[in-house]
Amino acid sequence: MALRALDVSLWGFFRFHGPDAKKFLQGLVSADLGRLAPGVCLPACVLTPKGLLVADCELYEETPESVLAVTRPGAAIGFLKAFEKKIMLSDSSLKALRSERAWLVVGEGFDRGLPWPRLSEPARLLLGVDPPEDADLMSDAEFEALRLSSGFPWFGADMSEESLPLEARQEAAISMEKGCYMGQETVSRLVFRGHVNKILMGVRFAGEPAPAGAVVLRGDRAVGHVTSSLGGLGLALVRFDDAVPGVKVSAEGEDGELFLFSSWPKPLSKPV
């Protein structure tokens, strides 16, 4: 399959640089920076003190004293606000890379740039350089179809500033072994003592997918709403007790079935 390239210059790209950049981030994001290494994509979440999402992101080690953070357009401003004042108390700096041109290149056999393993197909990020000349340009609709088929939740559609990370299937971005971080108390309480009240599920529609915002019904009972959809697939935020694979649902007259994406991580559990 030919390489495809998507212009992602409007995503958020931020560089943390300084002798304590990793230590600074370790206390503020949900991932364990001890897992960061050259060539590693580390998913992470930035949370409020109450445990709500500020942003989902990926972290990359550029040098031992430089970390690159990548997030979605709808989360970029919140991401910057979460760090710009706190960084002044550290020995590091934060720079928003607004002028950089960035591309997401999807396809086999391409090894330049940074790995972005969020899709069901191989993908890599290029920052500040052009994509390969033989790459076909990918439309936003084509990317939307790919990210939905991959089960990748999108900030601003499937999750927002009102979401808890565990509602949005962000388990891969959360470490249960690291020390304290912003919002940890809420995450730990949900893992150890209960569960979220609603959670993302995949929906396979028999016909045309119901649009975002459509009420999801189980029988004649409302159990959630569609957050995004395209090409017979959708994501929906569903009541936890109804979020069971195989459950038959409908939305705006379109029949569907709930399912779990194979790419979604298992629920978090208490460390042994």
Task: Indicate whether 181 and 106 sit together in one domain.
Answer: no
Task: Indicate whether 126 and 193 sit together in one domain.
Answer: no
Q: Which of 2, 105, 21 is nearest to 68 (CA)?
A: 21
Give residue 99's pLDDT.
75
Over range 169-192, report the average pLDDT.
94
For residue 1, is pLDDT > 70?
no
Give the residue carrying structure tokens 């992470």.
44
CB 265 within 8 Å of CB 174: no
Task: Indicate whether 239 and 112 sit together in one domain.
Answer: no
We report the CATH number of the domain holding residue 180 as 2.40.30.110
Task: Indicate whether 80 and 36 sit together in one domain.
Answer: yes
pLDDT in tens, 60-78: 999 999 999 999 999 999 9
Structural domain containing residue 245: 171-259
We report the CATH number of the domain holding residue 66 as 3.30.70.1400
Over range 137-161, report the average pLDDT.
97
d(CA 74, CA 77): 7
Task: Indicate whether 32 and 131 sit together in one domain.
Answer: yes
Domain count, the chain: 2
Task: Indicate whether 119 and 224 sit together in one domain.
Answer: no
In a domain, 165, yes or no: no
Counting Cβ atoms within 10 Å, is residue 193 exposed (0-12), middle (13-18) or buried (19+)?
A: exposed
For residue 190, is pLDDT > 70?
yes
Task: Indicate whether 25 and 137 sit together in one domain.
Answer: yes
Residue 109: count other Cβ atoms within 10 Å of its Cβ. 7
